[in-house]
Amino acid sequence: MIIAVIGSGYVGLVSGTCFADFGHEVICVDKAEDKIEKLKNGQIPIYEPGLEELVAGNMKAGRLSFTTELSDAVRKANVIFIAVGTPSRRGDGHADLSYVYAAAEEIATSLNGFSVVVTKSTVPVGTGDEVERIIRETNPNADFEVVSNPEFLREGAAINDFKRPDRIVVGLSHERAKSVMTEVYRPLYLNQSPILFTSRRTSELIKYAGNAFLAMKITFINELADLSEAVGADVQDVARGIGLDNRIGSKFLNAGPGYGGSCFPKDTLALVKTAQDHSSPVRLIETTCSVNDQRKRSMSRKVAAAIGGDVRGKKIAMLGLTFKPNTDDMRDSPALSIIQALQDKGADIHAYDPEGMDSAMELLEDVTFGSNAYEIAKGAHALVIVTEWDAFRVLDFSRLKDKMVTPVLVDLRNIYGKDEVVKHGFSYTCIGRPDEEL
């Protein structure tokens, strides 16, 4: 099978590389010449554990190549994946589909023989129909089918998610495309990963429904964390207690500062817009979006309370800036809202992140960056764990205490138990776990 992947961003690069690793011949295409030049030299533009080695191995084996020439790649390929970005459209929150439609138009003119065009980008219901219309209008003689095949990769665990998926969802309506997609995913099929074949529109909706449900689950436990604090219960035990019920499941029940990233905030908003457009509102998701937005900023109140209520002129050290560990992605990270809210209250922010500092520097103003936890803790009135990087799980509290003005730890990810922190003379604030229980 020869596969062309249009768009070598996060999804395109991971998917293309993994398809090559399955044994297919893959050509990754991107308009950004500098990105393609770097990839040809084995330099990976994103931080994703294991990806660099996998790209190198498959390039060496001759199965993976990179180009800016879309037409050559499409002409050669049996299957063309569209994996370009679908950011939130400015102003209304709808997914911006201009890159998807532009790719469809370009692909159309180079289709050669029977081809399957697959949308892997996250796209609202009905986008496949429009892609089909564009291709047919641009090239009436083309022999093709348009398929929906959403991705369910988590940043930081993307390769494992691709190779050992809970399920593969494929939306199509004809046998010809079905046999091609079965061939594409044959290696996973043999591993017995479930493949759900459904209609294209259903497949498009499954992607949004999945992300919205997970975002809602996190928001549910975050609100239960606040309630736990109010009534003197422990949210981690609540999560365990309900998660052991198989109907609920234990995953995505970690209370924290609110969800961020390039997917949940954007996709929940886009689902709300689609639902409104069809006069079929999804009120639970609407509420999830607004509760999560408020939560991120409200974490600044927790920090203020931990140091006596007023942060003006106080030095606050922030540990972790990315929206989650094992990524350099800062998009919609809770850290951005928390830092902004603390700065609005007059705090002096110092920060460190193992991988996200370059992008953080572009997004944050008036923040002093340090090169490790101990450097930013010097002279600080509070240390705040915003992202649960492994490196922050084994902090040397005696060393930190010597450097800080007041030994205060605010643990927004619940990675410590109170005892192990207070025994070093720290005061400890976390999420949804009452003092007396700890």
81 in contact with ligand UGA (CB under 6 A): no
Write the binding mask 192 to 231 for ligand UGA: x where contact by CB under 6 A, - elsewhere: -------------------x--x---x-------------
Handedness of CA 53, 58, 59, 60 (dihedral sign): positive
Figure out which of the listed residues 9, 12, 165, 261 binds ligand UGA, where binding follows CB under 6 A.
261
Residue of the chain from 16, 124, 171, 256 that contacts ligand UGA (CB under 6 A): 256
Whose Cβ is closer to ligand UGA: residue 145's or residue 267's? Answer: 267
Closer Cβ to ligand UGA, 102 or 209, answer by number = 209
As measured in angstroms, the least distance from the Cβ of 308 to ligand UGA is 27
Choices 32-40, 74-82, 249-257, 280-288 (CB under 6 A): range interacting with ligand UGA: 249-257
Give the C-alpha separation, 57 to 47, whole Å: 17
- Chosen residue from 19, 81, 259, 352 binding ligand UGA by CB under 6 A: 259
Count of residues interacting with ligand UGA (CB under 6 A):
21
Stretch that binds ligand UGA, among 146-154, 276-284, 340-348, 389-397 (CB under 6 A): 146-154
> Which of these segments, 147-155, 292-300, 335-343, 425-433, binds ligand UGA (CB under 6 A)?
147-155
What's the min distance (Å) between Cβ of 41 and ligand UGA?
A: 27
Q: C-beta of 110: minimal distance to ligand UGA in Å? A: 28
Angle, alpha carbons 322-35-329 (nearest 5°): 5
Q: Among residues 28, 263, 289, 430, which one is catalytic? A: 263
Site for ligand UGA in 308-347 (CB under 6 A): 323-324
Nearest distance in Å: CB 253, ligand UGA: 6
CB of 312 to ligand UGA, least distance (A): 29
For the chain, the three-class secondary structure string (H helix, E strand, C coil) is CEEEEECCCHHHHHHHHHHHHHCCEEEEECCCHHHHHHHHCCCCCCCCCCHHHHHHHHHHCCCEEEECCHHHHHHHCCEEEECCCCCECCCCCCECCHHHHHHHHHHHCCCCCCEEEEECCCCCCCHHHHHHHHHHHHCCCCCEEEEECCCCCCCCCHHHHHHCCCCEEEECCCHHHHHHHHHHCHHHHHCCCCEEEECHHHHHHHHHHHHHHHHHHHHHHHHHHHHHHHHCCCHHHHHHHHHCCCCCCCCCCCCCCCCCCCCHHHHHHHHHHHHHHCCCCCHHHHHHHHHHHHHHHHHHHHHHHHCCCCCCCCEEEEECCCCCCCCCCCCCCHHHHHHHHHHHCCCEEEEECCCCHHHHHHHCCCEEECCCHHHHHCCCCEEEECCCCHHHHHCCHHHHHHHCCCCEEEECCCCCCHHHHHCCCCEEECCCCCHHHC
Does 263 participate in catalysis according to the annotation?
A: yes
Residue 171 interacts with ligand UGA (CB under 6 A): yes or no = no
Interface pick for ligand UGA out of 263, 270, 307, 341 (rule CB under 6 A):
263
Toward ligand UGA, which CB reaches closer, 110 or 119?
119
Residue choice 189, 197, 252, 374 for contact with ligand UGA (CB under 6 A): 252
Residue window 113-132: x/- pattern of binding to ligand UGA, with contact defined by CB under 6 A: ---------x----------
154 is an interface residue for ligand UGA by CB under 6 A: yes
**Which residues of the shown chain bind ligand UGA in the complex (CB under 6 A)?**
122, 151-155, 211, 214, 218, 252-254, 256, 259-261, 263-264, 267, 323-324
| Residues marked as catalytic | 263
